[in-house]
Amino acid sequence: MNSKSRFSTFFFVLFCALSCYSYGTAMMDYFLLYPSRFLIGEEEFIDYHKLLESAILPISVFPFLLIILMNFIVLWLKPLGVSKRLLWISLICLILDLLSTALFQAPWNMALSTGKDVALMQKITDTNWVRVFLESAQAVVVVIMLYQRCSTVSDIVSSSPEMPRA
């Protein structure tokens, strides 16, 4: 395996790992933090919301933006055995998710910085299924691509002549 192939493999595996991390943080946000906002009192809500907003950038947003960039790079690297079509599907899911977030979810969430608004919180929760679907689809595609890559390597190893043992 040459150095370009090694780097391509390493970068692809890193992309897959970060995609899984990003998916996990997003699902925690959607299924734990979103519902918990309804339980917070009016007086504590602004402080609670500030805490969440300050933590979401380094924990969830930056890794999400990084996997979009990494998806472009993986497309360019073309790792052995990974379907270019699935890489494009992954990227499309990520970009649509980014657009949904930037155009709808983020502005609505930022509006909560002024205080608790149960109707807006419900709107955010009710419309979030789009992001859940896109992020789940992207995660499934990543697992399929990882399987493809492992299968290709396994096929290559099993078809190569046996190396003498030391």
Mean pLDDT of the chain: 93
- Give the number of residues written for the chain: 166
Q: Please report whether residue 21 resides in a domain.
A: yes
> What per-residue confidence (pLDDT) applies to 34?
94
Q: Is pLDDT at 163 greater than 60 in this prediction?
A: no
Q: Please report whether residue 164 resides in a domain.
A: no
58 — pLDDT class (breaks 50, 70, 90): very high
Kindly report, residue by residue over 116-145, the tens digit of the pLDDT. 999 999 999 999 999 999 999 999 999 999
Q: Please report whether residue 48 resides in a domain.
A: yes
Kindly report, residue by residue over 96-121, the tens digit of the pLDDT. 999 999 999 999 999 999 999 999 99
Instruction: Report residue 27 as tokens.
Output: 């699902």
- Looking at the structure of the chain, the number of domains it has is 1
| Average pLDDT over every residue of 30-50 | 95
Structural domain containing residue 129: 3-159
The answer to whether 87 and 148 have CB atoms below 8 angstroms apart is no
Tell me the CA distances in angstroms from 165 to 156, 162, one per residue in order.
Answer: 19, 9
Q: Please report whether residue 165 resides in a domain.
A: no
Q: How far apart are CA 21 and CA 99, in angstroms?
A: 20
> What per-residue confidence (pLDDT) applies to 2?
83
28 — pLDDT class (breaks 50, 70, 90): very high
Only one residue has tokens 């657009």, namely: 99
Neighbours of 9 (CB within 10 A): 18
Q: Please report whether residue 66 resides in a domain.
A: yes
